[in-house]
Amino acid sequence: MPLDIVTVPCLKDNYAYIVKGPDGIALIDAPEAKPLINVLEHRGWTPDVIMITHHHHDHVGGVDELREKYGCKVMGPAAEKDKLPELDMALEPGFSGGTDDGLCEVIPVPGHTLGHVAYHYPEAKCLFSADSLMVMGCGRVFEGTPEMMWESLSTLAALDPQTIVCSGHEYGESNAAFAKTIEPDNPGLISRAQMITVARGRGQPTAQVPLYIELQTNPFLRAGQASVKKALGMEDASDLEVFTEIRARKDKF
């Protein structure tokens, strides 16, 4: 049974995901309850579990209301247990569960927060990365260090290139604009930026994309590329140093 994934816009620019698979229905993050309830009721679905990626309020604000309404279990990173709504199961890095396309692995991706996790469905080739890897970007380094974030992104970059990355925010247009300041002559980036502008004009989400496209266009994943180092005048710098410079520029963009 393949996964049925529904993208649900929440708040100003957040996304939550409803994932229906062979083991039931999971919500990946819950920024607010109402949009998720509307979609669930329209489809006649009842969630079995809410899977939290990290503790920020714009990813957990709807958890308690949804749990009260549906009686669903709540899972999240053990490292952030004290900052999250009450957990029925605290997930350790490396934990996996589920069957067939529903098999899910917990990948630690510290940087944005210290305990941030991503949910990887290897058989279905799908990754829910929230505020770690994002469309042509990555989350701000709030609690961790640039080294942590670079290591996290490097881990995700090594997944199957056909993996669909589903991130937590609609930042496509702004991230594309920044990416072009790093690689203005990247033809794939130029084409993708145009496609994002068209999609957003139609009200379509852009936060779901194959990993191989991110590898071609996301400056944060491309910090180790010689072309990027040359563009920044950092030919002799380490990959981490280049990543740190790109993140610093994005913070000021």
Question: What confidence tens digit (pLDDT) does each residue in 24-57 have?
Answer: 999 999 999 999 999 999 999 999 999 999 999 9
Closest alpha carbon to 174 in 209, 208, 213, 207? 207
pTM listed for this prediction:
0.97
Closest alpha carbon to 126 in 17, 39, 9, 10? 17
Residue 242 has pLDDT above 90, yes or no: yes
Residue 221 has pLDDT above 90, yes or no: yes
Is 42 annotated as contributing to ligand binding? no
Cα→Cα distances 129→106, 143, 220, Å: 11, 17, 14
pLDDT at 2: 84
Residue 69 has pLDDT above 80, yes or no: yes
CB under 8 Å to 151, separation ≥6 — which residues?
A: none
C-alpha torsion sign, points 248, 249, 250, 252: positive
Work out the mean pLDDT of the chain and round it to a whole number. Answer: 97
Q: To the nearest whole percent, how much of the chain has pLDDT over 90?
A: 99
Is 116 annotated as contributing to ligand binding? no
Is 120 annotated as contributing to ligand binding? no
pLDDT band at residue 1 using 50, 70 and 90 as cut-offs: low
Alpha helix stretches (DSSP H) within 158-224: 172-182, 187-201, 211-217
Question: What confidence tens digit (pLDDT) does each residue in 139-190 have?
Answer: 999 999 999 999 999 999 999 999 999 999 999 999 999 999 999 999 999 9
pLDDT at 29: 98
Fold of 4-252: Metallo-beta-lactamase; Chain A (3.60.15)
Greatest CA separation for the chain: 57
Q: To the nearest whole percent, how much of the chain has pLDDT over 70?
A: 100
Residue 110 has pLDDT above 70, yes or no: yes
pLDDT at 216: 97
Q: Where are the chain's structural domains? A: 4-252
